[in-house]
Structure formats: C-alpha cells, structure tokens
Structure 1
Amino acid sequence: MHFYFVYILKCSDNSFYTGITNNLEKRLNEHQSGKNRNSYTFKRRPVICQFHQEFNDVIQAIYFEKKIKGWTKSKKEALINKDFDLLKILSECRNATHYKYNGI
C-alpha cells in the first residue's frame, strides 16, 4: 500500500508552502537542500515542516492539498496549531464585517 502526505512548510520569510509527496522525508530533504532552484522554497530556506497528514488515497491527498493552498495564512496556522474551533470560525467568516460580528 502506498501512502501520500500533504505537508505545510514554514519558510524563513514566515510564509507557508503546501505540498504533496509519497516520501515525506525525501521531499523535506529536497526542500532543505535546494534541489530545485526554481522552487518557491529555494530562496526561503531553511524550511521547517509544521504539519503533515497521511493519506492512503492519492485523490483525497490531492483534494486536501488543493484545499489548503486556497486557505489564508490564518487558517493554515489554525490547522498547524490544531485549533479546530478557530479553524471553523475562520472557515465561516471571511472578514470582520461578516454578519456574525456585527454589534460586537
């Protein structure tokens, strides 16, 4: 059985990079060593793996990776910190003017 990993790296400029791989250790080493000069992480090293989730279905892994890539930095931080209550709030409310915040 093959496993796939969706991961989030924190880069040296405090940005996040989200990726997918079937060999997490090898892929993290590639990011850290700067294997690909054209990659997002090349000039943002060192990188730190802040989150990874294992999947046994590549389709689910690809779906999850694409979903996370569309998230705000705040949502990624909530996931990394396992703050699922905040993640739910951030998923419901796109900005401070959302109706749930009126009158607060």
Structure 2
Amino acid sequence: MLTVCWFLYLVRTADNALYTGITTDVGRRFLEHQTGKGAKALRGKGELSLAFSAPVGERSLALKMEYRIKQLTKRQKERLVAGDGSFEALYESLQTPPVKRD
C-alpha cells in the first residue's frame, strides 16, 4: 500500500497574519488559496505568500501538529517560520510515545 506524505504549511497574508494548514500537495493547495478556492479564512486577504512548509508524514501526525501550531502565539509562529528549531522540537515531542504510568 502506498503511503501518502502529509505536509504542514503556513501562509502569510497581506496584513502579516499567519494561516496554518495541512495538505498532501503544498503547491496545489497554495494555488487554491491564491485563487480563492482554498480556506474561506484566506479569501479577500490580499496577496498571500507561503511562509513555511515541512513534511510531517502521516495524516494523524499532521493533524496533531496543525492543532498544536494553531495554539501558538503569533510570536511563537514567527520563530517557527524563522527556523529557530521549535518545529523540530514539536515534531519530536509528538513522535515520542506517551509515558506509561503505573
């Protein structure tokens, strides 16, 4: 069975807001956002730019990462986009199985 790789991405709007999403094809999804066929949250937001994208693997992990990143402050998202290592740390924290407690 073919495994599909999911990506997490952040889009920057004209007013400098960051939108977080997941997809299996970043180029296609970004084009959908640019042409008004993507998320309603980005429609009418002016010029869009792809600020960040990274492969995360399976869909379940991509959904977890998307949720966690959407919980971050704008400053924390900006650091992630700048490549401060926070994406890698978050990725690793979600890869580690939970500790079983007695």
- Partner in structure 2 of residue 33 of structure 1: 35
**RMSD (Å), alpha carbons:** 1.8
Cα displacement string for residues 6-58 of structure 1 (whole angstroms, at most 9, x for unaligned residues): 1001101111100011111110000011115x711111131111111102211
- Partner in structure 2 of residue 4 of structure 1: 6
The number of residue pairs the alignment matches comes to 85
Q: Which runs of 5+ in 2 are unaligned?
A: 90-102
CA distance, structure 2, for counterparts of residue 29 and residue 70 of structure 1 = 25
CA distance, structure 1, for counterparts of residue 22 and residue 46 of structure 2 = 18
Aligned pair partner of 2:17 in 15, 18, 25: 15
Larger radius of gyration: 1
- Partner in structure 1 of residue 80 of structure 2: 79
Supply the AA of the counterpart residue of 1:72: T
CA distance, structure 2, for counterparts of residue 15 and residue 55 of structure 1 = 23
CA distance, structure 1, for counterparts of residue 81 and residue 57 of structure 2 = 21
Supply the AA of the counterpart residue of 2:69: I
Q: Displacement of 1:68 after TM fit?
A: 0.3
**Same amino acid, percent of matched pairs:** 31
- Three-state SS of the structure 2 residue aligned to 1:59 is helix
Q: Displacement of 1:61 after TM fit?
A: 0.7
- Partner in structure 2 of residue 63 of structure 1: 64
Supply the AA of the counterpart residue of 2:59: V
